[in-house]
Chains A and B, each alone.
Chain A
Amino acid sequence: DQQVKQNSPSLSVQEGRISILNCDYTNSMFDYFLWYKKYPAEGPTFLISISSIKDKNEDGRFTVFLNKSAKHLSLHIVPSQPGDSAVYFCAADVWGSGGSNYKLTFGKGTLLTVNP
């Protein structure tokens, strides 16, 4: 049973346009969400995160939106650049009152291709 789902294996957008990557989760205990970016032959790198007490977090061109009622989050990249072409992983964590349990649950990833 996959608790974090990225239903689009791939996405292609034009340079300068918006990229929207989606992620759904089923475990209502998840209260912290992260996005990681992975280039070929490299490990994933942390991109942006959001706590369940927020519905939006922004960092430069990257914005993550969280809809708790729908158990859905999305990553918006505006404007998209060719260097953004990578695999993007959504991940979820359970913090609760004791902090992180250090066990991130990842989605399968979405391959983003930004065309010049």
Chain B
Amino acid sequence: SAVISQKPSRDICQRGTSLTIQCQVDSQVTMMFWYRQQPGQSLTLIATANQGSEATYESGFVIDKFPISRPNLTFSTLTVSNMSPEDSSIYLCSVDQSGGGEKLFFGSGTQLSVL
């Protein structure tokens, strides 16, 4: 199974600022994903991070708000831009190693609070 390191584990940020979350995997993976879990809600897919090309965003999420980088097969970043209190969530990086999407491995998450 993949070992995923996600940083920071938590942060408290001011409104209008941006935060970049890093995700490092101990092996090369094709598919990397970014999820968000708002308080009391389910995990929601933000985007799929593609190596060598732009990320693919889900409905309701845009690149200007959540820019993603994927410079290689083991690393990705998600930036939460121009934050507001509604962005307070847990952000999770995940990878698919099975090749079939049948199970994901998740990082430990970033608990973000926006004041």
Contact = CB atoms under 8 A, between A and B. Distances in A.
Contacts of B92: 43-44
Contacts of B104: 44, 46, 104
A36 to B, nearest CB: 8
Interface string B1-37: 0001010010000000000000000000001010000
A103 B45 contact: yes
Given A43-B94, A44-B43, A32 B102 contact: yes
Nearest to B93: A43
Contacts of A4: 42
B60 interface: no
A28 interface: no
Given A41-B108, A43-B92, A43-B94, A107 B102 contact: no
Contacts of B101: 93, 95, 99-104
Interface residues of A, number: 26
Interface in B92-115: 92, 94, 96, 100-109
B89 interface: no
25 contacts: A32-B102, A34-B103, A41-B108, A41-B109, A43-B94, A43-B105, A43-B109, A44-B92, A44-B106, A46-B103, A46-B104, A49-B103, A91-B43, A93-B101, A95-B100, A99-B100, A100-B100, A100-B101, A100-B102, A103-B101, A104-B45, A104-B101, A106-B43, A108-B40, A108-B41
Interface of B: 4, 6, 9, 31, 33, 40-45, 48, 58, 92, 94, 96, 100-109
